[in-house]
Structure 1
């Protein structure tokens, strides 16, 4: 049985739903592949790595201070021990040896204290550097988190809308009175990769799908289409509601 032109206007509502469905799918794809969000996530990853590196530098500097302090205390303890031995007395040779050892330890202590001060300076510089950079790194992290949250929120809305539209499409398709015409509509809509407009209005000599204004001859031929035949645009092949 030939498709009935009387059912053709009913496809316009279905086409509207299908077009909105396609819009939600395309928008979801855009969001999922958005270069702006990807760039922010890359910046966030770099910020996280930089933050960890700063933490590692500060930790290493603090450990350096601790080690330098321990070295100074160790030498001071040795000096105190040798001074106690010196005060306890002994042979001239023993006392000269102790004094020489104390002098050596004092030189080591002075060098260790200088190293301790240098380690403290490095620790202060590392802490100050982290303090300066952390706000920028945290801002990059916050910006990326916000962008992802906004993207995910919109994706959730699109998913809800897609589910609603899918249910509406199923209802319209199930109640459509002409299965043959519906099949033809779906064939046109999904041809060449899908997403095509399959039905549109023909008004004032113009196709509502491709926007082509037909020549007088083509318009006359189209408007004279037999009732048993579904009118189609000669340019884009869409079914037309006259």
Structure 2
């Protein structure tokens, strides 16, 4: 019967729907997005670490600048006392000794400050580089998201077309035949297949001679099923 031939069209549509749903849950864009999310997080961690390092150096610079300023103020005070001419000889000697100590202390602090300021220049470059890498990772993730959106939209269009085709085809079958097809499709994913020689087109298994003889003896209007997978076997010319 020609109506059984139409089952093959319905099976083709259902197979396409399965492929669409499989592609939807296995989009390569999803894997790429997951990879890029991990990369973005790594770049973000790098940027945060670079920012923390820069902040630490800024705090060290401010601390050293305060200490240098305090030493200079102390030097200025001692120099002022020495120049006033109002201190005794013993105190004058103590001030001279203290000024020497303060000078050495200031020199060490200034050397340390210079070293940290050089470190800060390198840290700032590292911070900028980390920020640029983070921005690039975010741009790549946005692009991958757009690409996934396009892929999903294409699948939506294909799925809608198949749903429409399926709805039209389903109206062609008697209720009993369609119910049998749907039951087999739910159980084995494929509801119908063409009998190709001695092979079931649904499960691709070769049928033995006894089964083939039984099927051959079955009237054309009768529905036969594959003894292996249960799918409706559509015979040539039926």
Alignment TM-score, normalising by the size of structure 2? 0.81
Residue of 184, 199, 202 corresponding to 1:206: 199
Task: Please give the alpha-carbon distance, in whole angstroms, between the structure 1 residues aligned to 2:29 and 2:214.
Answer: 46
Q: 1:82 to 1:166 in 2, by over 3 A?
A: farther
RMSD of aligned residue pairs (Cα, Å): 2.9
- Give the gaps of 5 or more residues in structure 1: none
Partner of 2:193, secondary structure, is strand
Q: 1:32 to 1:170 in 2, by over 3 A?
A: farther
Residue of 212, 225, 235 corresponding to 1:232: 225
Alignment TM-score, normalising by the size of structure 1? 0.80
Task: Please give the alpha-carbon distance, in whole angstroms, between the structure 2 residues aligned to 1:210 and 1:158.
Answer: 26
Is the CA contact (8 Å cut-off) linking 1:207 and 1:233 kept in structure 2?
yes
Paired residues for 1:1-242 under 5 Å: 5-31=1-27, 35=31, 37-92=33-88, 93-130=90-127, 142-173=139-170, 175-191=171-187, 196-242=189-235
Q: 1:177 to 1:132 in 2, by over 3 A?
A: closer
Q: Quote the offset at 1:112 in angstroms.
A: 1.0
Q: Quote the offset at 1:37 in angstroms.
A: 4.3
Partner of 2:194, secondary structure, is strand
How many residues align? The count is 234
Is the CA contact (8 Å cut-off) linking 1:47 and 1:141 kept in structure 2?
no
Q: 1:111 to 1:179 in 2, by over 3 A?
A: same
- Give the gaps of 5 or more residues in structure 2: none
Task: Please give the alpha-carbon distance, in whole angstroms, between the structure 2 residues aligned to 1:51 and 1:160.
Answer: 41
